[in-house]
Amino acid sequence: MFRLAVLPFAVVGILAVSSLQAQDAKETKKAQITLKLLDKKASVDFKETRLQEIIDELKDHAKGLRIQIDAKGGVSQNRKLSFSGKDVTINKILEGLLKKEGLGYGVISNEKDAYDGSVYIKVGGELGGVIRKR
């Protein structure tokens, strides 16, 4: 009897894990690498710091991280931003910097896109997630 009661929960658990694995498999290899890099932790203290300087520092914290800005869409590398955090993920740093400025970001996951695997910063939009088409 106990086995029959546990069976539905086991099936749900297996389906949930399979779903997550399938979702990861949908992302390009470069996007998967970047998503892992965004989970790296760092301590930062940006006070009215130019976006380009912030990008350079984040790249130092997560070797291999690529970040592009949507300059045509209105994101300036000279824009000054502030955020301070100790031992937080790159994701949280980006969220803290961009949300209050009306900016968003995502990871490009499209093998046909020259910036596949790059973090793409743009005006508006979501914070985090995957961009399949820009």
Domain boundaries, the chain: 28-131
Dihedral sign (CA 107, 73, 124, 95): positive
Q: What topology does CATH give the domain 28-131?
A: Phage tail protein beta-alpha-beta fold (3.55.50)
Find residue 58's DSSP bridge partners.
none
Per-residue pLDDT, averaged over 10-21, amounts to 45
**Quick one: pLDDT at residue 118?**
98
Structure tokens that stand for 31 in this block: 């996007």
Q: What pTM was computed for the model?
A: 0.79
Per-residue pLDDT, averaged over 72-100, amounts to 97
pLDDT category, 22, cuts 50, 70, 90? very low
Find residue 81's DSSP bridge partners.
49
* pLDDT > 70? residue 119: yes
Give every CB contact of residue 1 below 8 A, 6+ residues apart in sequence.
none
* pLDDT > 70? residue 24: no
